[in-house]
Every structure is written in C-alpha cells, then in structure tokens.
Structure 1
Amino acid sequence: MKRRHVASLGAVCVAGSALQAVWAVANAQSDRGYPDRPIRILLGFPPGGSTDVPMRVLAANAAGILGQAVVIENKPGAAGVLPAQMLQSAKPDGYTIAVIPQGVFRLPYTTDIRWNPQDLGYIIGLTGYVFGIVVPVSSPIKTLGDYIAYARAHPGELTYSTPGALTTNHLTMEQIAREAGLKLTHVPYKGTSESLLALLAGHVQSAAETSGWVPYVESGKLRLLAVWGERRMARFPGVPTLKESGIDIVQSSPWGLAAPKDTPAPVVARLHDAFKRAMEAANFRETLAHYDMEPMYMSMEQYRRYAVSAMAREKAVLEQIQFRKNSG
C-alpha cells in the first residue's frame, strides 16, 4: 500500500481496534485477579500518526489476550514525554501504563525532574522509527558525500530542519556533524510536517526527519541521501545507511511500554506476556510495515538495561554539544 493511503489505513485501524476491544471484553474470559477492569495506555502523540496507529492495533490485540479493554489516551506535547511524567502520579497497579519515547532518557539533563527514568517499570520494547536526511530534488547535493563536501566547503551555511531542538533528530545530526567534522546550522520547527514544508518551500536546504518524507521522495519532490538505521529501507534499497557512508552512527529511537515505579512484578510480567503475544500478530507487523518500521522486541530486563545505557548516551551527546540545563 502506498503512503498516500496511510490516512485511510489509520481510520480503518482505529475503527477496527475499537471493535476488537469491545469484542474482547464481551467474549474473552479473563483470569481471576489482574486485570479486572480496563487498562489505559498514555501516548504522547496525536491520533493517526506512526506511533498512534500501530499502538491502537497492538492495544486491540492485547485486549483479546487480557480479556479487558485496553484504551489509548492521547497526551500530545513536549516531544511525547508527558505520559512518562504522568506515570509519576499514577497508581502502580498496572491499570495506567505509557509509551516511552527516546526523549524520556534525556529529561534529567534538559529539565528539572525529581524522578529517574531508569526507575520506571519497563514492560516491553516494541519498535523504533525510520530517520533520514532529505534535500529537494532540485538540490545540487546528490549523495551524502556531496552533503558532507558542501558543508565542509561552506562552514555554517548548510541548514537543516528538525521537529524541534533537543529532539533525537537534532542531537543525531549534531553527532553526525561532530563525526564528519562539519559545522551545520540547525533550524527547529514545531513538528515533522512544518519541518518538511519548510524544506519544500526552500526555507532550509535539508531536513533530518522521520519517515514523513516517504511520499515526497516517492513523488520526486525530495531526494533521500541516507537512512540512520542498521539496514537499508526495503522501500528505498538504493539509499545507503550512515554506517555504509562511513559515519559510525545507528539511530532508530526505540520505544516501548512502561508502568509506574513499584508496579508489582507479577503485574508487569502479565503485561509483558500479553503485549509480546500481541506484537507477534500479523496485523501489528503489517501496520508497522506501512510506516517502514520493524518490530524491535526487548524483554522487561532488556528494556530496563536499554534505559540505563540510553541515559548514559544521551548525557554524553548533550555534553558534546555543550548543552547546559536552563541555558536556553
């Protein structure tokens, strides 16, 4: 299915998810004890996007396994990290859980918080995003090598847009610039749509974005120079990864689910097992594929260890760009 059908896919998935959840509550026989009422998942992005639609499919699958409705509550804003903050005041009973984006792991270094992201009750790692660097098709920059050469020849002149300062997009571009010895100029916008529209309008020369650029690349308006994942995209097999281009960086911004600190271990384990079965269903994998995403399973312990290592990496990157909390 082409990217232009994604909007209709979202509507179908949302409607189908609601019907599946109702069916599950009416027909599935739940275990005694947990869960005995609906579970809500806090999600820090608006409806209909590449996080929301797969999560609604996954929630419907999990509802059928748990025998209770699993309801998505959208809490957009602050680059998706509001749900993690909300977990701090939620009861640790397994009935309120949240989607945890990569940005949560840099909060201690960018914001004044009184909790440690390492202490969440990590349930399961689910997937990650596709990132890439794009330029207008009319640009003389044809490859990532051209991009690097131009930036070296014109220090500070080459501009790139992102969905905001201190996002994964921004910080990874700073890592790329550091490794390649470049000086780039960052132009932050309020989201991917604004970032890409600015590029199309000629306000910036390039964009570092998640896969919102796919329809523009397919229609011949933008050129994809490199992707940031471990492997090339199936949709654009001719486009190299950063590592293939000589830049030793892989970024997929993994995300998954977590519960409040002190949620009982048996409850977290019950959630893990249900969502693991849910993510193995064909409909979840097919929905991810429409967004060029792949399953990236992490167990409870693997996800907890990832949180520890991710916080260390985020701190190092922020130190490299000499970011100081409350410095703007």
Structure 2
Amino acid sequence: MKMLAAIIGAAAAFCLSLGHAQAQSYPAKPVRFLVPFASGGSSDIIARSLANHYSSALGQQFVVENKAGGAGNIAMEETKRAAPDGYTLILGHVGTLAVNPAMFGAKLPYDAEKDFAPITLLALVPNVIAVHPDLPVKTLAELVAYAKANPGKLNYGTAGNGSAGHLAMEYFKLQSKVDIAHIPYRGTGPMLTDLLGGQVQLTFNGIPPILGHIKAGKLRPIAVGSAKRVSSLPDVPTIAESGFPGFETSQWYGLMAPAGVPKAVVDLLQAEAAKALSSGDAHRRITEDGALTAAGTPEAFAQLIAREKQRWGEVVRAAKIQPD
C-alpha cells in the first residue's frame, strides 16, 4: 500500500510539474480563438479586443476565427474535441451555454458545464427594445398597448432562432402577454437592414450594433433590459421601471477552453483578461458602444453559467422554442 501511495504521489507531482512547465512556456505558438458566430456585432468586438491584448502581452498571436453555424454548436463541439492545452479557446455566450442546452436537449453535441473550463466572464451587453420611427409608440406602456390592440400585426427581428434577442423578447412576451411575431435572420446585420427599412417593426437587441442607428434617429429606443440604466442611453428607462419590476436580461460573454486545460494556463489567461478589461484599448473598445466589462474568477463564471442555464431553460420551455 505504501508503494502504491508513493507511485500515486509521484504521478500527481509529475502532472503538477508538467502543468507548471506548460504554463511557463505558454504560449509557445499561435492560439486559436473561436467565435461561434458570424463576423460583426458584439461577439467580434469583444473577442478581437481581448485577442489583441493577449497577442501583445504574451508574445504570440491569438487568432480570432469566426465559425458560425448550428446556433453556435459547431464551434462549441470543435472546441470540446480540441486538445486541452490552451491553444484552442472559445468565446462562451449565453446562447451556447444557457439557451442551447434546453433548446437542443439530448441532441446537443456537448455538455455546457462538463466539456469546458470556464476562464473568466468578459462582458455584459445590455439589450434594448428599439422600434422603427414609423411605429407610433414612445414608451414601453404604449408599445404593450399597441401590441394588444393589434395582436399578431407586429413583427420583431433577431439575429436568429434561439439567439439572445429571441430569448429576451420571448421572455418579455411571457411577462407582458403580448402577441408579436418573431422573424429570425442569419445575423444581426441582415436583421438591421430590414428593421431600418421598415420590413420589421422592432427588435430586442444588444446595444452595441444598433447604438449608432439610435443616435442617428433611425431607430427609437423604448427600454433597456438591464437592471440599471446604461450610460450610453441614460435617458432610456429600464423595463423594470417601466412597469415590469424585477425584469432583467443582458447578453453575456466569457472565455472558455476545453475541459482539462492546466490550471496554470487558466490562471494566466484570467489574470491577463482582468488587466485588459480594467483599462487600455480593450476596455475602451468594449465599453464605447455600450457594453460593460465584467472580469471575474473561473468559479464565478461557472456559477453564472449554472444559474443562467436554469433561468433560460425555463423560458425556452415556456415559449416552446425549437431549433431550426
């Protein structure tokens, strides 16, 4: 027994020393940073801002790869199958980590909590309900009243079925009991083209991609989904203060690696992300369009994923949302 214990202890010490050695030489080659969505929008801004910091601070290129498809599942599965050595990372998202487990069920090709190592939460992106200026509403109460007076006549656009905007609006529809039809697009860009053209009347979207259109008067903001008002739209009330106490929804993004990545690598990436998000170019680029930086520990990020997975699972089931 003593010999067995000694062997186990030696093996553990070897693994620990190997992990430290990997971390000390990491990164020794370029790192792939997958984004499970098409280019453009908040995910790109956040991933590329962080990648630029890592490349500069750690002396190797962190190469962002947009790998859209399957509601993010394609990139998530590829990351799950990658070697857990820190050379494949992915931008985790409320959709892939909290929505897809309920929407796809047993068909989901990964386990959101077991197949990945959370590194850090990166950013919160408040959502805003925005309408085409031709829609005769200026407040959330007026929007609800108009929708109830015209059931089924309003359409809202999103970046796709099961997207964060889709879930946010379905959550609001459950709370307000309004009938507004969903029009899914293949990305925020195509949706905005039709929203600006009046083909759809409103959206419940992350602020960064539409802030410029709001400031230009091409879209009218009605209410933000965050718990507090946001600095980029200080005069726009929250949904909670507009008659729906306790309502809150924001998109969130975090950094993930395949499960089993050495803890020392996780710690290095988390520490550098905290630096990037506290000041400098990454902080400025992420926040200038309305997002909020939100660095934290791997443990706190894991806890957020578990909470959000339960909350959005309930919305998916109540709204009967099905994958494409």
The TM-score, its normalising length taken from structure 1, stands at 0.83
In structure 2, relative to structure 1, the CA distance for the partners of 1:64 and 1:114 (3 Å cut) is same
Write out per-residue CA displacement over residues 37-61 of structure 1, whole angstroms, 9 at most, x where no aligned residue.
2222111234454322342232222
**Partner residue, 2:103:** 110
Q: Deviation of residue 34 (structure 1)?
A: 2.9
**Partner residue, 2:60:** 68
In structure 2, relative to structure 1, the CA distance for the partners of 1:51 and 1:108 (3 Å cut) is closer
Q: Deviation of residue 88 (structure 1)?
A: 1.5
Residue segments in structure 2 that go unaligned for 5+ positions in a row: 1-21
Write out per-residue CA displacement over residues 208-263 of structure 1, whole angstroms, 9 at most, x where no aligned residue.
22232222222222211111122223232111111111223222211111110121
**How many Å separate the matches in 2 of 1:114 and 1:219?**
42
**Partner residue, 2:47:** 55
Report if aligned partners of 1:57, 1:283 keep a CA contact under 8 Å in 2: yes
What letter is aligned with 1:282? G
What letter is aligned with 1:230? A
| 1:195 is the counterpart of 2:195 | no
**Partner residue, 1:18:** none
Report if aligned partners of 1:164, 1:170 keep a CA contact under 8 Å in 2: yes
In structure 2, relative to structure 1, the CA distance for the partners of 1:158 and 1:190 (3 Å cut) is same
**Partner residue, 1:45:** 37
**Partner residue, 1:280:** 278
**How many Å separate the matches in 1 of 2:41 and 2:133?**
25
Q: Secondary structure at the match of 1:130?
A: strand
- Percent identity of paired positions between Structure 1 and Structure 2: 31
- Of 67, 73, 83, the match for 2:75: 83
Report if aligned partners of 1:46, 1:76 keep a CA contact under 8 Å in 2: yes
**How many Å separate the matches in 2 of 1:59 and 1:323?**
34
Report if aligned partners of 1:81, 1:101 keep a CA contact under 8 Å in 2: no
Q: CA RMSD in A?
A: 2.1
Report if aligned partners of 1:39, 1:94 keep a CA contact under 8 Å in 2: yes
In structure 2, relative to structure 1, the CA distance for the partners of 1:71 and 1:296 (3 Å cut) is same
Report if aligned partners of 2:277, 2:294 keep a CA contact under 8 Å in 1: no
Report if aligned partners of 1:123, 1:272 keep a CA contact under 8 Å in 2: yes
**How many Å separate the matches in 1 of 2:304 and 2:234?**
29
**How many Å separate the matches in 1 of 2:322 and 2:134?**
38
| 1:132 is the counterpart of 2:128 | yes
Q: Secondary structure at the match of 1:128?
A: strand
The TM-score, its normalising length taken from structure 2, stands at 0.84
**How many Å separate the matches in 2 of 1:81 and 1:61?**
27
**Partner residue, 1:22:** none
Q: Secondary structure at the match of 1:254?
A: strand
- Off by >4 Å, runs of 4+ in structure 1: none
Q: Secondary structure at the match of 2:57?
A: helix
Aligned ranges for residues 313-328 of structure 1 at < 5 Å? 313-323=311-321
**Partner residue, 1:256:** 254
Q: Deviation of residue 31 (structure 1)?
A: 7.1
Residue segments in structure 1 that go unaligned for 5+ positions in a row: 1-29
Report if aligned partners of 1:125, 1:303 keep a CA contact under 8 Å in 2: yes
The structure with the largest alpha-carbon Rg is 2
**Partner residue, 1:153:** 149
- Of 291, 296, 299, the match for 1:298: 296
Write out per-residue CA displacement over residues 274-327 of structure 1, whole angstroms, 9 at most, x where no aligned residue.
2222222321111012221110122100011111112111211111113457xx
